[in-house]
Amino acid sequence: MIGQFTPALRAIEDILPFRAIRIADRGEGDYADTTATHRVVGFSDGSNRRFDDTNHALTGEPIRLQPGNIVLAEAGEAITVPVALRVGSAGLVFEVDDVNDVMLGEALEDATAANQVIRIRLNPDNAAPL
C-alpha cells in the first residue's frame, strides 16, 4: 500500500486496530502495556484482517503501523484536551496522572468515553527505558 509503513513485526498475540505496539523478544510485536517499561514503536493501523473480523492481525500475522507522528489511538478512558498521554493496558491511551508516568504524546481531541478513537501527537519522553 502506498504510504503505509510495514515493519517486520509479527504479532505474538491478536492485535486490534489503533493500539500502541512495542517490539517484544525476537523482533516480534505485541501491545505496549506501560510506557515506563515498554518502548512504543507506533500504533496499529485501522485495517481489519478480513471483512468478518475485528482484529487488525492474529498471532503470526504482520502488524502494520500508522505512518507519521499524528496518529489515531483508542482511548482507555475519557480524555480532555489539553493533556499528556501514557499507554496502559492492551495498548490503550490514558491521561498522565502520576509523576512517575512516562509521557507518550498529547491528545489532539477529546474522548468522551473509553474505546473512542482519537487523534494524538506522538512525542515520546526520552526518559523511557530502551
Contacts of residues 122-129 at CB distance under 8 Å and 24 or more positions apart, as own/partner, are: 122/40, 122/42, 122/43, 122/69, 122/70, 122/71, 123/69, 124/35, 124/39, 124/40, 125/35, 127/102, 128/35, 128/36, 128/39, 128/102, 129/36, 129/37, 129/39
Looking at this protein, which amino acid is placed at residue 24?
A: A
Residue-level pLDDT at 119: 97
Nearest to 74 by CA among 17, 26, 34: 17
Residue boundaries of the structural domains of the chain: 20-122
Q: Tell me the pLDDT tens digit for each residue of 88-123.
A: 999 999 999 888 788 889 999 999 999 999 999 998
Q: Of 32-36, 58-62, 92-96, 110-114, where does mean pLDDT reach its minimum? A: 32-36
Within a 10 A sphere around the Cβ of 129, how many other Cβ atoms? Answer: 9
Give me the percent of the chain exceeding a pLDDT of 90: 45
What is the amino acid identity at position 26? R
Q: Beta 29-31 vs 20-23: how paired, if at all?
A: antiparallel
Which of the four pLDDT bands, split at 50, 70 and 90, describes residue 129? very low
pLDDT confidence band for 15 (50 / 70 / 90): very high
